[in-house]
C-alpha cells in the first residue's frame, strides 16, 4: 500500500531524497561531471521544485 502526496507536503526533506534517487538513477550519464554521487545530489538538489513533484510513501507494518 502506498500513499501519494505532493513533495512539498512531505514532512521529511523531500528535496534531498529526490536528488538522491535522481543521482542514483542517472549517475552513469552524470559521471562525466563527478564520480561522487553525493556531489551530484548536492548539485541538483536545488533544481527540484517541490510543488511540481509527487512522492509515493510505502506504508510500514
Which helix (DSSP H) or strand (DSSP E) does residue 27 occupy? Answer: helix 14-30
Distance (Å, rounded) from C-alpha 22 to C-alpha 61?
27
**Stretch 3-7: mean pLDDT, rounded?**
91
pLDDT at 4: 92
Domain that holds residue 17: 2-58
Number of domains in the chain: 1
- Single pTM value for the model: 0.75
* Cα separations in angstroms, 36 against 10, 18, 25, 40: 27, 17, 13, 7
Share of the chain above pLDDT 90, in %: 16
Amino acid at each position: 500500500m502506498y500513499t501519494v502526496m505532493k513533495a512539498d507536503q512531505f514532512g521529511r526533506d523531500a528535496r534531498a531524497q529526490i536528488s538522491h534517487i535522481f543521482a542514483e538513477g542517472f549517475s552513469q550519464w552524470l559521471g562525466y561531471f563527478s564520480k561522487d554521487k553525493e556531489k551530484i545530489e548536492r548539485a541538483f538538489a536545488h533544481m527540484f521544485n517541490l510543488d511540481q513533484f509527487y512522492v509515493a510513501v510505502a506504508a510500514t507494518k
